[in-house]
Amino acid sequence: MTMQFNDETFRGDYSYFNSPAAVKRFPFPFDQDSYMYSVNIEQHPGGPKGSPFEFAFDVDEHYVAEMKDREITLAGDPMRCQSLPHMELAGWDLLELIMVSKARDYPELFKLTRDGNDWHWVNKPLGIEKRFTFLDPTTLPCGPMEYITRQAQGDFALLHEREGNLWLDAGMITSQADWSLDFDVGMNFFEWHAPVPKARKMGVFDKALKFLLAVGQDQSYRRLNWTMTVNPRLDTSPENYHKWGPEKRTVTPENVGKKQFLRVELQTFWRLPRSNALAFPIRCYLANLEDIASQPKWGRRLHRVLRDIDPDLAEYKGFAVNQKYIVDYLSQFDDGAETSPGIFPD
């Protein structure tokens, strides 16, 4: 294996860190100096070599640590993974999509051999080797969705299409930005997104649903979403708010650069072949303000975005209580120069 994986944690001592290379490939979500909701969907995969957009599913230095964190979360709360009975075929579709993609894009890390329905899967980073029969759940230690998402970074929602809507009927959700699979499972697209301020009135979700319903076989797309969190914690679930919520009050002008993190979601959308379900992977990336400010363009732009953002969005995005500390810290990196278009660093 050529990729080096970090020895790090997303809880407790919070030893998570980004290498300089990881900072430069961070999916910075702002392509201009201001922010308001938009659908911002583009084709996926496809992007600069080495970027998170290059391959179907990004594998990076945090892979092994993220999988360990998922295991801890599931051990404490198995309901973070749920699949309604009619979604098993979608789980097999997702398993196929992830295994085929990873074996193709990272052959030094993953290998998949198929002889009809007799499959042999090798995951070198996690030390997994498994022979199983595709579409036969008795040959796996758990359901197909759970099996493969215990080996894939990010959260995964499987959406069932019916009644002109999309229904959240299965998912593996352990790194979410303050929403609960156990509460939302079985909800439709609008119910699931009801807590988001302003967007429904702006028609954002109507446009998004119309687009997603039109996604056909062999089509896949992506968008970036973002929020902010204190400390590099993946599991910011409502169920564990008592653990991470009080941490917001631990930020000071002296530590804000290290403790305040920009949390970016690379959301992708895939129409699955047998079930016709829509797969919705949600990959979380974390970078603290020091990481962001190491790229001059990003430091300038993030200062302007967070300084001028709508107060309702600052509250929803989880940083209103520390907004002054954040903006004051970032102001030292904003020299007033123009920023170049796009999300990539100069």
| Burial of 220 per CB tally in 10 Å (0-12, 13-18, 19+) | middle
- Quick one: average pLDDT of 327-338? 97
Task: State the pLDDT confidence band at 36, using cuts at 50, 70 and 90.
Answer: confident
* 44: amino acid identity, one letter: H
Helix (H) or strand (E) holding 281: strand 278-288
Taking a C-beta distance cutoff of 8 angstroms, is the pair 185, 168 a contact?
yes
**Out of 223, 233, 249, 301, which one is annotated catalytic?**
223
Is residue 202 predicted with pLDDT exceeding 80? no
pLDDT for res 197: 66
Helix (H) or strand (E) holding 318: none
Taking a C-beta distance cutoff of 8 angstroms, is the pair 7, 65 a contact?
yes
Side-by-side strand order, sheet with 118-123: 110-115, 118-123, 128-133
Q: What percent of the chain has pLDDT over 90?
A: 89
Q: How much of the chain is helix, strand and coil, in % rounded to 5?
A: 35, 20, 40
| Burial of 268 per CB tally in 10 Å (0-12, 13-18, 19+) | buried
pLDDT for res 21: 97
Side-by-side strand order, sheet with 278-288: 42-43, 220-230, 260-271, 278-288, 155-162, 165-172, 81-83
Both tokens of 247, joined, read 């941490």
Backbone angles phi, psi at 139, to 5 degrees: -95, 5
pLDDT by residue (tens digit) across 305-320?
A: 999 999 999 999 999 9
| Burial of 297 per CB tally in 10 Å (0-12, 13-18, 19+) | buried
pLDDT for res 192: 85
- Domain ranges in the chain are 20-331
Q: Which residues on adjacent β-strands are paired with residue 172?
A: 81, 156
Cα–Cα distance, 70 to 173 (Å, whole number)? 9
Cα–Cα distance, 41 to 138 (Å, whole number)? 38
Mean pLDDT, the chain, as a whole number?
A: 95
Tell me whether residue 150 is one of the annotated catalytic residues: no
Is residue 203 predicted with pLDDT exceeding 80? no
Is residue 37 predicted with pLDDT exceeding 80? no
| Burial of 242 per CB tally in 10 Å (0-12, 13-18, 19+) | exposed
pLDDT by residue (tens digit) across 222-280?
A: 999 999 999 999 999 999 999 999 999 999 999 999 999 999 999 999 999 999 999 99
Cα–Cα distance, 50 to 116 (Å, whole number)? 33
Peptide bond into 52 cis (omega under 30): no
pLDDT for res 195: 72
Count of residues making up the chain:
346
3-state secondary structure of 262: strand
